């Protein structure tokens, strides 16, 4: 016969409440993996690209929206701590989910936290705006740093995809492989246009956006999978204490 809450032992009720609280906190952390891509899209391609007169989403890099002379640099700089907080929170959520999952999932969470924190290092290395680039002149320090950060970001992304694929088998592993291939192909296509700046760079913006959104969708997919594995936890806990 099921017992009512008032009939449960005093020690049982706080334990159930703590489990429920932890489950809610974990779900909030995992939801950050979906909120981040949506917010990034709205802020960058929605607001910033619209405010930047003459900017082409198809032909210009996303980094140009926060370039040295970009009128939208202040806005995206202000958004960076928000992005960092969301990604770090998501990484922590993934790591906590690994308490009931494979070790590779914990490593994936650690990499996501590192990726989020590394985002702050972009601040001192903005991409030079096209009007600030003089062809034939040595590359500026901020552009060298920007390239280094791009390489570091790619390494972290590929590492997260690798360990995420190891954490889950079947369709998600295949999806992770497809995402990795997409990131590499479109990252390469973008890199072939980057040296042409400040001259026209047809399709460079499209290439970068395909690369970025392949990664963002993977993050959101990981968040959704982990949320699905948690959605029945409160119900199971309630059943366990009432039987």
Domain enclosing residue 48, as ranges: 19-129+141-234
On whether residue 8 sits in a domain, the answer given is no
On whether residue 13 sits in a domain, the answer given is no
Phi-psi region of 230 (alpha: psi -120 to 50; beta: other; left: phi over 0): alpha
Span 9-21, pLDDT tens digits: 544 556 666 667 7
Q: For the residues 125-151, what does the mean pLDDT come to? A: 90
On whether residue 135 sits in a domain, the answer given is no
Span 83-101, pLDDT tens digits: 999 999 999 999 999 876 7
Domain count, the chain: 1
On whether residue 191 sits in a domain, the answer given is yes
Q: For the residues 55-82, what does the mean pLDDT come to? A: 96
On whether residue 33 sits in a domain, the answer given is yes
CA distances in angstroms from 63 to 33, 134, 145, 171, 181, listed in the order given: 22, 18, 13, 33, 22
Count Cβ atoms within 10 A of the Cβ of residue 6 and give its class: 0-12 exposed, 13-18 middle, 19 or more buried: exposed
pLDDT band at 7 (very low <50, low <70, confident <90, very high): very low
The per-residue pLDDT of the chain, averaged, comes to 88
The per-residue pLDDT for 63 is 95
On whether residue 90 sits in a domain, the answer given is yes
Q: For the residues 121-150, what does the mean pLDDT come to? A: 90
pLDDT band at 5 (very low <50, low <70, confident <90, very high): very low
The per-residue pLDDT for 11 is 47
Using the predicted structure, report yes or no on whether residue 240 has a pLDDT greater than 50: no
43: how many CB neighbours lie within 10 A of its CB?
19
On whether residue 239 sits in a domain, the answer given is no
The per-residue pLDDT for 78 is 95
Q: For the residues 113-139, what does the mean pLDDT come to? A: 90
Give the C-alpha separation, 50 to 37, whole Å.
18
On whether residue 10 sits in a domain, the answer given is no
Q: For the residues 49-68, what does the mean pLDDT come to? A: 96
Better-scored residue on pLDDT, 23 or 230:
23
CA distances in angstroms from 71 to 35, 51, 130, 223, listed in the order given: 25, 8, 13, 34
């Amino acid at each position: 016969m099921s017992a009512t809450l008032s009939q449960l032992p005093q020690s049982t009720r706080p334990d159930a409440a703590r489990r429920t609280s932890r489950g809610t906190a974990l779900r909030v952390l995992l939801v950050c993996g979906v909120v981040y891509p949506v917010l990034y899209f709205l802020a960058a391609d929605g607001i910033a690209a619209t405010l930047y007169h003459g900017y082409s989403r198809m032909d210009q890099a996303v980094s140009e929206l926060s370039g040295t002379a970009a009128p939208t640099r202040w806005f995206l700089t202000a958004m960076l701590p928000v992005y960092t907080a969301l990604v770090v929170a998501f990484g922590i959520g993934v790591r906590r989910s690994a308490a009931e999952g494979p070790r590779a999932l914990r490593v994936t969470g650690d990499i996501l936290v590192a990726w989020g924190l590394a985002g702050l290092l972009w601040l001192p290395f903005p991409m030079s705006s096209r009007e600030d680039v003089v062809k034939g002149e040595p590359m500026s320090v901020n552009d060298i740093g920007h390239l280094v950060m791009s390489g570091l970001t790619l390494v972290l992304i590929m590492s997260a995809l690798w360990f995420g694929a190891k954490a889950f088998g079947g369709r998600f592993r295949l999806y992770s492989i497809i995402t990795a291939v997409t990131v590499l192909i479109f990252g390469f296509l973008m890199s072939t246009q980057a040296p042409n700046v400040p001259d026209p760079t047809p399709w460079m913006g499209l290439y970068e956006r395909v690369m970025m959104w392949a990664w963002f969708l993977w993050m959101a997919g990981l968040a959704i999978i982990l949320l699905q594995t948690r959605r029945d936890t409160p119900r199971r806990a309630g059943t366990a204490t009432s039987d």
